[in-house]
Chain A
Amino acid sequence: MNVLTQFAATETEAAGGDIFSTLGIDWQLLILQIIAFLILVWLLGKFVYPWLMKSVDERQAKIEESVKAAQEAEAKAESAQEDIAAMLKEARKEAKDIVVTAKDEAAAMVADGEKKAKARADKIVKDAHEQLEKDVIAARKQLHNDTIELVALATEKVVGKAVDSKADDKLIARAVKEAE
Chain B
Amino acid sequence: MFHNFAQLDLHISIAAEPVFHIGGFPVTNALLTGVVGAALTLGILFYVAGKVKRDQYNRFVGLIQWVFEGLLSQIDSVIPDKKLARRITPLAVTIFFVVLVNYWLSVIPGLESIKLNGVPLIRSLTADLNFTLGLALITVVTVQIYAVKYLSAFGNLGRYFRNPFKDPVAAFEGILEVVGEVSRGTALALRLFGNAFAGEVLLIVIAALTSYAASVTLPFFMAFELFIGFIQAYVFFILTLIFTSLAVSHEHGDDHSSDHSSADARKRAAVQTE
Assess the B94–A33 pair: CB atoms within 8 A. Answer: no
In the complex, besides A33-B34, A37-B134, 9 extra interface pairs with C-beta distance below 8 angstroms are: A2-B6, A3-B12, A22-B15, A37-B94, A41-B94, A44-B94, A48-B45, A51-B53, A55-B52
Per-residue CB contact flags for chain A residues 74-106 toward chain B (1 = under 8 Å, else 0) read 000000000000000000000000000000000
**In the bound complex, how far is the Cα of B13 from the Cα of A23, in angstroms?**
9
Known contacts A43-B42, A49-B89; decide if A25 and B129 are in contact (CB<8 Å).
yes
Is A160 positioned at the interface, with any CB of B under 8 Å from its CB?
Answer: no
**In the bound complex, how far is the Cα of B12 from the Cα of A52, in angstroms?**
41
Interface-central residue, A22, A26, A28, by most chain B CB under 10 Å: A26
Assess the B130–A29 pair: CB atoms within 8 A. Answer: yes
Is A159 positioned at the interface, with any CB of B under 8 Å from its CB?
Answer: no
B1-38 contacts to A (CB < 8 Å): 5-6, 9-10, 12-16, 25-26, 28, 31, 34, 38
**In the bound complex, how far is the Cα of B62 from the Cα of A68, in angstroms?**
25
**In the bound complex, how far is the Cα of B128 from the Cα of A52, in angstroms?**
30
**In the bound complex, how far is the Cα of B208 from the Cα of A2, in angstroms?**
13
Assess the B89–A48 pair: CB atoms within 8 A. Answer: no
Assess the A23–B129 pair: CB atoms within 8 A. Answer: yes
Assess the B130–A41 pair: CB atoms within 8 A. Answer: no
User: What are 20 A-B interface contacts by the 8 Å CB criterion?
Assistant: A2-B5, A2-B9, A10-B14, A22-B14, A22-B15, A24-B15, A24-B128, A24-B129, A30-B130, A30-B137, A33-B31, A33-B131, A33-B134, A37-B131, A49-B89, A51-B52, A52-B48, A53-B72, A55-B65, A59-B69
B38-57 contacts to A (CB < 8 Å): 38, 41-42, 45-46, 48-49, 52-53
Is B235 positioned at the interface, with any CB of A under 8 Å from its CB?
Answer: no
Is B246 positioned at the interface, with any CB of A under 8 Å from its CB?
Answer: no
Please report the number of residue pairs spanning A and B whose Cβ atoms sit closer than 8 angstroms. Answer: 114
Assess the B90–A44 pair: CB atoms within 8 A. Answer: yes
Interface-central residue, B94, B129, B138, by most chain A CB under 10 Å: B94
Minimum CB–CB distance from A37 to chain B (whole Å) comes to: 6
Is B271 positioned at the interface, with any CB of A under 8 Å from its CB?
Answer: no
Known contacts A29-B130, A53-B72; decide if A48 and B49 are in contact (CB<8 Å).
yes
Is A56 positioned at the interface, with any CB of B under 8 Å from its CB?
Answer: yes
Assess the A41–B91 pair: CB atoms within 8 A. Answer: yes
A13's nearest neighbour on chain B, judged by CB, is B13
Contacts of B86 in A (CB 8 A): 53
Assess the B10–A26 pair: CB atoms within 8 A. Answer: no
Assess the B134–A34 pair: CB atoms within 8 A. Answer: yes
B5's nearest neighbour on chain A, judged by CB, is A2
A-B complex: 9 closest residue pairs judged by Cβ atoms: A24-B15, A45-B90, A34-B134, A48-B49, A29-B130, A51-B49, A33-B134, A48-B45, A41-B94
Is A36 positioned at the interface, with any CB of B under 8 Å from its CB?
Answer: yes
**In the bound complex, how far is the Cα of B25 from the Cα of A57, in angstroms?**
45
Assess the A52–B14 pair: CB atoms within 8 A. Answer: no
**In the bound complex, how far is the Cα of B135 from the Cα of A59, in angstroms?**
32
Q: How large is the interface on B (under 10, 10 to 19, 20 to 34, 35 or more residues)?
A: 35 or more
Minimum CB–CB distance from B67 to chain A (whole Å) comes to: 10
Contacts of B52 in A (CB 8 A): 51-52, 55
B135's nearest neighbour on chain A, judged by CB, is A37
**In the bound complex, how far is the Cα of B89 from the Cα of A26, in angstroms?**
29
Contacts of A44 in B (CB 8 A): 41-42, 45, 90, 93-94, 97
Minimum CB–CB distance from A20 to chain B (whole Å) comes to: 9
Is A38 positioned at the interface, with any CB of B under 8 Å from its CB?
Answer: yes
B122-180 contacts to A (CB < 8 Å): 125, 128-131, 133-135, 137-138
Assess the A47–B130 pair: CB atoms within 8 A. Answer: no
**In the bound complex, how far is the Cα of B13 from the Cα of A35, in angstroms?**
25
Assess the A48–B46 pair: CB atoms within 8 A. Answer: yes
Is B60 positioned at the interface, with any CB of A under 8 Å from its CB?
Answer: no
Is A171 positioned at the interface, with any CB of B under 8 Å from its CB?
Answer: no
Contacts of A6 in B (CB 8 A): 9-10, 12
Contacts of A138 in B (CB 8 A): none
Is A40 positioned at the interface, with any CB of B under 8 Å from its CB?
Answer: yes
Contacts of A43 in B (CB 8 A): 42
